[in-house]
C-alpha cells in the first residue's frame, strides 16, 4: 500500500512551518525528488511486517460496566484474563491503569482522543503479572492523559473516593487506587510522573510505591515524559506491594529508561524478605519543608504524620528533623520538564515521541495522532494549561529552559542524597491536605486546574530525582485517610517497605471504607 503523498500546497505549508518558502517550481522539484526517493522507501517499509510480541493468555475485549456495577466510576473496562496456573501472584486479582496496554482490551488514557484504540501487544508489566499467575479483571480509569492530581478530569466522568463519594480519590491513578481500597481487586498497577501513584494512595488509604526511576520497565505504557515516567504497585497491604514489586521489577531490554546514568540497580532477590516488622536503629529524617506549606497544609495532616513518626520512634527508629532548602524549590524544575516534555513527547510526539531505541507501540501513535487532531478542543483544562505553557516555552526559547531544568536535577538529587547519607529515609506528608471535594460539572477553569495540580508539592520532586517513594496510610482525619510519604535512597525500596510493614503491623492499618448505599 502506498503512503500518502503531499500536494504542492502541502509542501508549501510545511516549508512555512519551518520558516522558509518554496516557489511553484521548487514545489514541483522537491515533490519529484521525494516521489522517487523517500516516499518510495516508505512504500517498501509499509509492506514490511514488524515483529509484534505474541499474546500468551486468552482474553476478550471485555466491556464498559453499568453504573450499578461501577459505583465509584473507577472501572473503564471490565474483562477477565487468567494468567499462568501458578506463580507468586496465583489467586490474586489486579486492575491495570488505562495508560498501560493490555492486548485486545480497549485503552483510552482518560481521553476521547484515544477512545476505540485496541493495543496490539501487552505492556511488559502486564506480561509479567500474567506470567506470575495473576488474574487481570480490567482497566482502571485514569485522569485525562494522566495530567491531574485530582480525580475529576477523565472523559468517563469523576472517580469517587470510597470514604466520601463527594471527595476526590486523587490522580492520576484514580481508578487503580479506588478499586484496591474498595476491595474490588487485590492489587493494581499505577503510573507516577508527579505523584500519580502516591497521591491517590494517600487519599484512599492504601499503599502505593513509586519505585526508583528505571526499576520497573515502562514498555507498552503511554508516557508523559521519559525522564519522569514510572510504573508502580498499589495494594491494601505493604506485603502485597512488596510481592507485586518483585514481579514487576527488572530490565526488559526495551525500555531506554533502564539504561541511563540515574536508572535503578537490579532488583533485590525478594522484596518480601525486607518485611521483618522491626525498625530498630532505622534513621528517619523528618523534612521540615514538607510541612506547614503556605496556603495548602492542613494542621491535622501535619500533626498526623508527626505523630506517626513518634510511633516509629517508639518502635526503635531514630528520628531527627532536618532542613532541605531545595525541597520547596524543586517545583519549577519539575514543571519545566513535565510541561515542555509533555508537549514534545505526548502531544507533538503522539504519545510515544522519537529518538529512543526500544519497542514502540505503533498503533497508539497512529490512533492518537488522528484523535488529538479531531478532539483537541476536548482536552481537559489541566492538559490545555500544561500544553500552552510547555509549547510556548519551546517555541520562544527552543528548549533552553527544559535543558536547564534537566541540568539542575543532579544538584537537586544531591541535596536529598546528602541527607540520605546519614539517614535511611526521608519522611513528610504525601499530600498536605485530606481529599478535596470533586469540582461540580460547571466549575470554572480556575477551580478545575487548582483541584488538579495544587497537591503535588511533596510528591513531584521525587519524580525528577528518581528516588523511590511510598505513601503509607498513617491516620484518619475527619473520616478521610492521611498518607505519610517515605523516601529512600536510589535502589533501596527494601528499607521503605521495611518501615511501612512495621508501621502497618504495630501502629496503624486503615479501616475499610463504608459500603456504598
Q: In whole angstroms, what is the distance from residue 474 CA to residue 307 CA?
A: 9
Which residue in 78, 97, 139, 210 is the catalytic one? Answer: 97
- pLDDT (tens digit, 9 = 90+) per residue, 402-447? 999 999 999 999 999 999 999 999 999 999 999 999 999 999 999 9
CA distances (Å), origin 284, targets 179, 225, 399, 429:
32, 31, 38, 14
By three-state DSSP, how is residue 32 classified? helix
- 170 and 140 Cβ atoms separated by less than 8 Å: no
Return the pLDDT at 289. Answer: 98
Which residue in 148, 151, 176, 196 is the catalytic one? Answer: 196
Return the pLDDT at 516. Answer: 84
Return the pLDDT at 267. Answer: 76
Return the pLDDT at 264. Answer: 72
Q: To which H or E segment does residue 319 belong?
A: strand 318-322
How close are the terminal C-alpha atoms of the chain, in Å? Answer: 56
Place of cell 480556575: 446
97 is catalytic: yes
Below-50 pLDDT ranges, the chain: none
Q: In whole angstroms, what is the distance from residue 192 CA to residue 181 CA?
A: 18
Cell numbers linked to 379: 482536552
Return the pLDDT at 262. Answer: 65
CA distances (Å), origin 310, targets 157, 303, 415, 419, 474:
40, 10, 25, 20, 12
DSSP letter (8 states) at residue 31: H
Nearest CA among 124, 133, 81 for reference residue 243: 133
- 208 and 190 Cβ atoms separated by less than 8 Å: yes
Pairing of strands 318-322, 283-287: parallel
Please state the domain extents for the chain: 75-353+361-506
Q: In whole angstroms, what is the distance from residue 227 CA to residue 328 CA?
A: 20
Q: In whole angstroms, what is the distance from residue 164 CA to residue 143 CA?
A: 19
Return the pLDDT at 517. Answer: 66
Nearest CA among 482, 508, 452 for reference residue 204: 482
- pLDDT (tens digit, 9 = 90+) per residue, 80-97? 999 999 999 999 999 999
Q: In whole angstroms, what is the distance from residue 483 CA to residue 487 CA?
A: 13
- 247 and 210 Cβ atoms separated by less than 8 Å: no
Return the pLDDT at 269. Answer: 73
Q: In whole angstroms, what is the distance from residue 22 CA to residue 15 CA?
A: 7
Q: In whole angstroms, what is the distance from residue 170 CA to residue 196 CA?
A: 8
CB atoms closer than 10 angstroms to residue 22: 18
Q: In whole angstroms, what is the distance from residue 152 CA to residue 438 CA?
A: 6
139 is catalytic: no
Beta-carbon contacts of residue 275 (< 8 Å; ≥ 6 apart): 238, 239, 242, 497, 498, 501
196 is catalytic: yes
- 200 and 176 Cβ atoms separated by less than 8 Å: yes
Return the pLDDT at 259. Answer: 78
CATH class (in words) of the domain with range 75-353+361-506:
alpha beta
Cell numbers linked to 186: 487485590
Burial 378-395 (b: 16+ CB within 10 A, else e): ebbbbbbbbbebbbebbe
Which residue in 140, 154, 168, 172 is the catalytic one? Answer: 172
Q: How many residues does the chain have?
A: 517
Amino acid at each position: 500500500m502506498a503512503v500518502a503523498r503531499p500536494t504542492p500546497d502541502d509542501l508549501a505549508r510545511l516549508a512555512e512551518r519551518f520558516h522558509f518558502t518554496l516557489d511553484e517550481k521548487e514545489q514541483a522539484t522537491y515533490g519529484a525528488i521525494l516521489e522517487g526517493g523517500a516516499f518510495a522507501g516508505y512504500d517498501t517499509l509499509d509492506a514490511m511486517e514488524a515483529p509484534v510480541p505474541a499474546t500468551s493468555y486468552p482474553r476478550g475485549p471485555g466491556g464498559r460496566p453499568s453504573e450499578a456495577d461501577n459505583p465509584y466510576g473507577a472501572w473503564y473496562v471490565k474483562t477477565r484474563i487468567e494468567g499462568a496456573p501458578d506463580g507468586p501472584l496465583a489467586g490474586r486479582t489486579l486492575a491495570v491503569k488505562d495508560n498501560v496496554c493490555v492486548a485486545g482490551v480497549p485503552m483510552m488514557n482518560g481521553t476521547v482522543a484515544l477512545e476505540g484504540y485496541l493495543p496490539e501487544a501487552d505492556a511488559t508489566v502486564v506480561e509479567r503479572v500474567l506470567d506470575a499467575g495473576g488474574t487481570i479483571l480490567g482497566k482502571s480509569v485514569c485522569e485525562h492523559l494522566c495530567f491531574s492530581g485530582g480525580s475529576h478530569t477523565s472523559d468517563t466522568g469523576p472517580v469517587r473516593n470510597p470514604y466520601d463519594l463527594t471527595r476526590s480519590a486523587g490522580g492520576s491513578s484514580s481508578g487503580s487506587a479506588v478499586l484496591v481500597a474498595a476491595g474490588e481487586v487485590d492489587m493494581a498497577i499505577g503510573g507516577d510522573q508527579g505523584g500519580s501513584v502516591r497521591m491517590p494512595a494517600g487519599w484512599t488509604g492504601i499503599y502505593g510505591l513509586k519505585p526508583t526511576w528505571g526499576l520497573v520497565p515502562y514498555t507498552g505504557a503511554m508516557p508523559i515524559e521519559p525522564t519522569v515516567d514510572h510504573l508502580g504497585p498499589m495494594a491494601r497491604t505493604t506485603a502485597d506491594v512488596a510481592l507485586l514489586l518483585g514481579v514487576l521489577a527488572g530490565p526488559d531490554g526495551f525500555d531506554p529508561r533502564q539504561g541511563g546514568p540515574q536508572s535503578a540497580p537490579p532488583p533485590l532477590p525478594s522484596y518480601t524478605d525486607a518485611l521483618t516488622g522491626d525498625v530498630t536503629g532505622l534513621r528517619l529524617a523528618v523534612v521540615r519543608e514538607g510541612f506547614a506549606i503556605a496556603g495548602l497544609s492542613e494542621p491535622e495532616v501535619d500533626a498526623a504524620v508527626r505523630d506517626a513518626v513518634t510511633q516509629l520512634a517508639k518502635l526503635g527508629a531514630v528520628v531527627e528533623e532536618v532542613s532541605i532548602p531545595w525541597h520547596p524549590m524543586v517545583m519549577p524544575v519539575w514543571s519545566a520538564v513535565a510541561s515542555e516534555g509533555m508537549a514534545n513527547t505526548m502531544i507533538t510526539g503522539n504519545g510515544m515521541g522519537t529518538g529512543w531505541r526500544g519497542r514502540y507501540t505503533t498503533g497508539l501513535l497512529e490512533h492518537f495522532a488522528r484523535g488529538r487532531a479531531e478532539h483537541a478542543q476536548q482536552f481537559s483544562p489541566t492538559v490545555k494549561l500544561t500544553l500552552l505553557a510547555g509549547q510556548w516555552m519551546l517555541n520562544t526559547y527552543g528548549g533552553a529552559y527544559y535543558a536547564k531544568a534537566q541540568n539542575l536535577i543532579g544538584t537537586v538529587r544531591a541535596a536529598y542524597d546528602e541527607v540520605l547519607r546519614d539517614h535511611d529515609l526521608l519522611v513528610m506528608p504525601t499530600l498536605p491536605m485530606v481529599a478535596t471535594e470533586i469540582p461540580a460539572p460547571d466549575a470554572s477553569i480556575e477551580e478545575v486546574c487548582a483541584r488538579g495540580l495544587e497537591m503535588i508539592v511533596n510528591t513531584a520532586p521525587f519524580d525528577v530525582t528518581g528516588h523511590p517513594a511510598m505513601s503509607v496510610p498513617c491516620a484518619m482525619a475527619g473520616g478521610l485517610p492521611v498518607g505519610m510519604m517515605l523516601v529512600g535512597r536510589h535502589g533501596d525500596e527494601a528499607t521503605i517497605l521495611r518501615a511501612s510493614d512495621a508501621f502497618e503491623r504495630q501502629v496503624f492499618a486503615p479501616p475499610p471504607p463504608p459500603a456504598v448505599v
